[in-house]
Structure 1
């Protein structure tokens, strides 16, 4: 098995949607630095590492609802929510035709009003806990020269809580089907409101179930997607999304997916027996339609030398390649208690790559 070693700016570019990072100076074509003023739309420089990433137009504009998640009690994995929206967006707004921009159409005041209205409009036994937690907007702009930067698509992620109180005040949980139905009703009202200012722009609506308030080990999951065609004011089509996340190792995983549980146990045993000293290893697996599509592994150990880190990472990478199907995207993060040591990424398509941190 061969792995590519990536360092510095080249490694960082793999993970960024827009290739502008601290410590990595990237210049437009021709090698000239851009001036302080931008009078016409222009593309930001993008490192060609994958066709699956969106470019953008400078200057960068932050999302209008940024910071609202800190006001909730729910632990929402914001990176998973953001990247999930982009993943589903690619089916409707391909990276070859569209640019990305943080949401600019919906304001914080609107989201707060929707949350308040949803709580007020609930039945008597559910007034204290509305299902709407947050609304995240992503915008997609034209790449065409004559329409560069024009808004041509919107993706909305509605974060929903399955928790509610019944008429007696007891805490209850909606089933996935119940939350899907309530989310569809809520989305219909939100789309009508957004359509006031964007009547012709096609939209994708995604329902995201947040994890339980006391859960901190696995992220939430997407449960449904809807489509609003251009020049239409209602959602024309809904599709369920069968996404699940499981902690490795765990009893729930062992019951639902025993084969993957055994594979992970074997990886832990092999790593422990080969190196002798204690290595803590946990993982989070993503399943789509009952099939594991991604596994993120965190290995924690105290190593004194970089050669030892290298040997462990190579050994673990070999075991991963033997144990897990090639269709599974695997991320391995090796760390000590206070700093990262190495990473190994095996994508479902393309070559794997590895990086050993030097400091």
Structure 2
């Protein structure tokens, strides 16, 4: 059985805290549900959830970050977390539900479920080791990660569980060694296998969740399937199926049409449906590099939903050491980004060097101007 680790993804925790929104509260003011025990975090955006504060402390997940010890692609972690929230919003609207980090699946439980099935671990959801080492003959590890999200509604002065979302991260490539500390090998897993194994695992997870104390038989449960990107990918994976279930068995699967792209694309050839977006990005890149020659790179990750651009993350790597240079670049980006980058979608721009993040720009979907922050500028 592979070792496990708990990934302390601080930036993801911060992201989740920032994503806690409003249900009948005043902006930036925590809302009291039960004056003695429960509060909510207050508003941080109309399309985001507010979170649960219990006994003066934010309710952290009981199993956050548990994953098999092979996820070297940090983009997978962020895409998995953000994408799962978007799937949840299809069923649990932020205007009606309060977000709570997973409280029903413990670290030990998730670790057991992520392991291989064996005599010592009968709860393992990955297939038993057949003893073979050949990439095409061994039983790969299909299930890589699992995430629980709880959705609450107000019940008088208390909160009650009104929905659960479970995200299952599935490998497209399973990395392994034939001996401890030996060379790394890999088994490629086809899309058909990912889908087949994911649905089979989801059925078992739903049955087990229904037997978990406190969940109940009628609480709606979303199970979403996510295909992880390989370790060498410059983007994260994507969700491809989800199911909303009111009983003990999977009701029906719904497709999720998501894909990611990197700009500039490999070989300079954009894929179908991204050429206009990449052309706009190339114009933006050229404009910025003409005015600021000391840039090491300008790249972007674009996310598509149903063949339409849904968001973009731009990374600009500099060789700047002067604070005034960083300030000037940030000011210039705030002027040219609205002219060249796509409108109508959220865009983040991160300016960084080998020393870390230097500045950050952001624009939400319904806005025209970018907000900016230069780090270390007082």
- The within-5 A match list for 1:1-359 is 16-18=18-20, 40-58=36-54, 59-69=57-67, 71-76=69-74, 77-114=76-113, 115-117=115-117, 118-120=125-127, 127-146=138-157, 148-163=158-173, 172-197=187-212, 198=215, 199-212=217-230, 214-215=231-232, 217-229=234-246, 232-251=247-266, 254-256=269-271, 257-350=274-367, 352-357=370-375, 358=377
CA 66–265 in structure 1, closer or farther in 2 if over 3 Å, else same: same
Q: CA deviation at 1:277?
A: 3.1
Q: CA deviation at 1:132?
A: 0.8
Find the residue that maps to 1:113 and give its secondary structure.
Answer: helix
Residues 116-164 of structure 1: CA deviation (Å, up to 9, x unaligned): 2343358886644121112111111113435x22211110000101236
Aligned length: 327
**For residues 82 and 286 of structure 1, what CA distance do their matches in structure 2 show?**
14
**For residues 35 and 364 of structure 2, what CA distance do their matches in structure 1 show?**
40
**For residues 219 and 332 of structure 2, what CA distance do their matches in structure 1 show?**
50
**For residues 258 and 95 of structure 1, what CA distance do their matches in structure 2 show?**
34
The 8 Å contact of residues 29 and 41 in structure 2, kept in 1 or not, is answered as yes
Structure holding more strand per residue:
2
Structure-2-length-normalised TM-score:
0.76
Structure-1-length-normalised TM-score:
0.79
Q: CA deviation at 1:196?
A: 1.0
CA 29–81 in structure 1, closer or farther in 2 if over 3 Å, else same: closer
The gaps in structure 2 that reach 5 residues or longer are 1-13, 22-27, 118-124, 176-184
**For residues 305 and 29 of structure 2, what CA distance do their matches in structure 1 show?**
39
Q: CA deviation at 1:300?
A: 1.7
Structure holding more helix per residue:
1
Q: CA deviation at 1:318?
A: 3.1
Residues 15-52 of structure 1: CA deviation (Å, up to 9, x unaligned): 71359xxxxxx87579xxxxxxx984422342444342
The 8 Å contact of residues 294 and 319 in structure 2, kept in 1 or not, is answered as no
The gaps in structure 1 that reach 5 residues or longer are 1-11, 20-25, 31-37
**For residues 268 and 199 of structure 2, what CA distance do their matches in structure 1 show?**
30
The 8 Å contact of residues 120 and 127 in structure 1, kept in 2 or not, is answered as no
**For residues 126 and 156 of structure 1, what CA distance do their matches in structure 2 show?**
30
**For residues 337 and 146 of structure 2, what CA distance do their matches in structure 1 show?**
37
**For residues 93 and 270 of structure 1, what CA distance do their matches in structure 2 show?**
42
The 8 Å contact of residues 17 and 51 in structure 2, kept in 1 or not, is answered as no
Q: CA deviation at 1:70?
A: 6.3
**Cα root mean square deviation, aligned:** 3.1
